[in-house]
Amino acid sequence: MREVYAVGVGITSFTRLEYPLSEIAAYPAMMALKDAGLSKVDHVYVANMAAARLNHQSGLASAVVDTLSLTPAGAEVIENGPASGASALKQGYMAIASGLHDVVLVTGAERLREVNNLEATDAVATLSHPLAEYIYGVTLPSLAAMFTRLYMQKYGVTERHLAMVAVKNHDNALLNFYAHLHEKVTLEGILDSPEAMTNNPYVAEPLRFFDCCPVSDGGACVILASAEVAKKLKKPLVRLAGVGQATDSHCVHERAEPTDLLAVRGAAAQAFKMAGVTPSDVNVAELHDAFTILEIAESEEVGFFKKGQGHLALERGETRIGGKLPINTSGGLKAKGHPVGATGVGQAHEIILQLRGEAEKRQVKDAKIGFTCNFGGFGNNVVCLVFKREN
């Protein structure tokens, strides 16, 4: 297989964006082309979950390639729910590794806020099983809440640990211009004070408002290229060294041990094996914290910490910037935001900045190996990526 490099990145603010969806996808792509110093590409992938429903648009990829004046490059939309972004990066990887293409632009975009929050929540809920989950009123927050309850019982995680994830990730987001929520959060304010129940009410017990990611619009782009192309450009060399993906049962209740996230475990193991590194080699990671519990659970399943001990590492501050393994330096889905189709590309964007040493005030020192975990459905389709700085 040919080696594949990340040669350009771009992003929009994750926030409410009153632009057509194709423009939300195109803007970060223009930034990434400029960043890479490229004006044409061989192929375009657009990661998006629900344009047909939320934005009344099909064939989005063709619209984006035309908006960017990149015709006649081919283009497709890649959909894998909240993991659409990393799935699209995987397609880009294969397009180059196979030798079919040399430069592939991967842009992710979602415009959830074209509709109201109820409809956005419903659109996300349609990721659940239509006959065994959705029809009974299941939503992603309610699945996450049930998962959290079991996790608390089994491993001793408390609401305090969940709140610590929020505090850390809001702190990180304050250092990220493009993050959705720029709001200092403290344990006092969201947990310990008399006002906490007002500031931070339960959404789906035991998950509170600050345990859930916001509903964001946004776009993010990564351009991938062959070694030959990458080595001619002036950027630090960041290689997409490992790609892993695994699925798990569509219905959460069918899992032998519902607190195990086997797709996360499988996808991470594949990505590490392919990259020839171990979890302890990782210097910086973006995990899929759509709910605070997921950062803790994923930090265990990918192999950073033993199962049931992620919350202890969090307590010790190991996952803060400056800690042993900073997690979600961007602010994570929790505070950076979660424009579904853009999220996985946005995670890669952050890791590439970190490995280039361009992460400004949130820079992790000497970061050489970075990792992303992009979580589809409620853990039914997960894609993990390993990036390596090579020079």
**Footprint on this chain of a copy of itself (rule: CB under 8 A):** 1, 20, 22, 43, 49-54, 56-63, 65-67, 70-81, 84, 87, 90-91, 93-95, 97-100, 123-124, 126-127, 129-131, 243, 245-251, 262-263, 266-267, 376-377, 380-381, 383
Nearer to a copy of itself, 93 or 305 (CB): 93
In the complex, the smallest distance separating the C-beta of residue 233 from a copy of itself, rounded to whole angstroms, is 22
Q: Considering beta carbons, is residue 136 or 202 the nearer one to a copy of itself?
A: 136
Q: Smallest gap, in angstroms, from Cβ of residue 373 to a copy of itself?
A: 14
Q: How far is the CB of 292 from a copy of itself (least distance, A)?
A: 22
Burial of 128 (0-12, 13-18, 19+ CB in 10 A): buried
Q: How far is the CB of 368 from a copy of itself (least distance, A)?
A: 24
* Comparison of 166 and 240: residue with beta carbon closer to a copy of itself: 240
CB within 8 Å of 147: residues ≥ 6 apart: 252, 258, 259, 293, 297, 378
User: Measured from the CB of residue 108, what is the shortest distance to a copy of itself in angstroms?
Assistant: 13
CA atoms in the 13 A half-sphere facing the CB of 59: 5
Both ends of the chain: CA-CA distance in Å? 21
CB of 119 to a copy of itself, least distance (A): 11
**H/E segment holding residue 294:** helix 292-301
Q: How far is the CB of 73 from a copy of itself (least distance, A)?
A: 6
Using the minimum distance from each CB to a copy of itself, give the nearer residue, 172 or 259: 259
- Residue closer to a copy of itself, measured from CB, 270 or 328: 270
Question: In this complex, which beta carbon is closest to a copy of itself, that of residue 71 or of residue 158?
Answer: 71
Cis status of the peptide bond prior to 20, with omega within 30 of 0: no
| Identity of the residue, 266 or 331, whose beta carbon is nearer to a copy of itself in the bound complex | 266
Give the span between the Cα atoms of 388 and 46, in whole angstroms. Answer: 24
The SS3 call for residue 269 is helix
Q: Write out 371-386 in H/E/C secondary structure.
A: EEEEEECCCCEEEEEE
Q: Rounded distance, CA 57 to CA 162, Å?
A: 37
**Amino acid letter, residue 166:** A
b/e burial code for range 71-81 (CB count within 10 A of at least 16 → b): eebbbbbbbbb
Sign of CA dihedral 376, 110, 348, 212: negative
